[in-house]
Amino acid sequence: MNGTLRFSLQNHWREIDELEKLGILPGELGRCLKSLITYHPYNAFTPEATPMLIQQAKQHVGNGFVLVDEKRNGIELAFDIVVCCPNPGEHTRTRKFFLLIPKYPGAKLKYLDEL
């Protein structure tokens, strides 16, 4: 998909449903996005990143998306979608899962050990 998708924070479920009905977003990716947007503020359990969902996310929201918070004077919040992956070779029960990371135009986030 070309361009960055925009959703309102208050109505994102309805807006994503409409994109699914129009065939713009695959249903499973739509459900994933609804969960990510709903649970992001609470750092809650986020959707598992299956190979199929990763591919769909890269195709449809690879450039991230924007949420518009109508209750806060239309403030726009931009997000990238990332995948948390377990370290290779470590015995862990960690699964791959999606996270939303705030996006800052003209900047790149780095871990402290990268600086």
Say if 111 falls within a structural domain: no
The answer to whether residue 113 sits within a structural domain is no
Query: Looking at the predicted structure, is the pLDDT value of residue 90 above 80?
Result: no
96 φ, ψ to 5°? -75, 135
Check whether 45 has a pLDDT greater than 60: yes
CA distances from residue 114 to 14, 20, 59, 109 in whole angstroms, order as listed: 40, 39, 28, 10
According to the model, what pLDDT value does residue 41 have? 65
> Distance of CA 88 to CAs 8, 40, 84, 85, 93, Å?
37, 26, 12, 9, 12
Residue 62, in any domain of the structure: yes
Is residue 12 domain-resident? yes
Residue 112 is assigned to a structural domain of this protein: no
Whether 110 is covered by a domain: the verdict is no
Q: Is residue 99 part of a domain?
A: yes
Q: Which range has the top average pLDDT, 6-10, 52-56, 74-78?
A: 52-56
Strand order, beta sheet including 65-69: 5-8, 65-69, 75-84, 97-102
Q: What per-residue confidence (pLDDT) applies to 2?
A: 53
Per the structure, the complete domain to which residue 49 belongs is given by 5-105
**Mean pLDDT of the residues in the chain:** 86
- Count how many domains the chain has: 1
- DSSP 3-state of 18: helix
